[in-house]
Amino acid sequence: MTIAVTPHLNFRGSAREALEFYRTVFGGELAIIRYADMGSSDPDTADLVVWGQVSAPNGFRIMAYDVYPHLAWDQGHDPFFVSVRGTDAAELARYWDKLSDGATVRQPLEASAWAPLYGQLTDRFGVTWVLDIAAAYSAS
């Protein structure tokens, strides 16, 4: 058996915009189901995302939804990071350049003491991304 772990992001009304943005960064297919598609007639939720996903041939996958307005939701402070680890510095740099649009760079994308390439930013939706190339470690 194999498994895949997919980050599932929770938003308050901006899931569609975030998923569309991530598709421009990583490519792939965008799938969105609105609350109205599930039978909701509530005008406050009808066009919000009950489930959405971007899935790209390179293995990138992320899901998101808009939390119901009547449910408590707090994005908090750094509740998680989305890590994109690759082997091609040029490809990671392309993702970085796109994700940087409207973002706060927390650590520039560059060589670091712990990785050949590492960068961290918080995008315009409040999601913190880590892009890096893994360092080779010996098993000793």
Interior/surface letters 73-97, b for 16+ CB within 10 angstroms, e for the rest: eeeeeeeeeeebebeebeebeebbe
Q: Indicate the domain borders of the chain.
A: 8-66, 81-133
CA-CA distance, 123 to 17, in Å (whole number)? 12
CA-CA distance, 136 to 140, in Å (whole number)? 12
CA-CA distance, 11 to 49, in Å (whole number)? 9
pTM (2 d.p.): 0.85
Amino acid at 121: L
Q: Within 13 Å of residue 138, how many CA atoms lie on the same side as its CB?
A: 1
* Residues 31-86 pLDDT 10s: 999 999 989 888 989 999 999 999 999 999 999 999 988 888 888 877 788 999 99
CATH of domain 81-133: 3.30.720.110
Looking at 3.90.1150.10, 3.10.180.10, 3.30.200.20, 3.40.640.10, the CATH number of the domain 8-66 comes to 3.10.180.10
Q: Is the dihedral of CA 17, 21, 24, 30 positive or negative?
A: negative
Q: Residue 1 pLDDT > 70, yes or no?
A: no
The average confidence (pLDDT) of the chain is 91
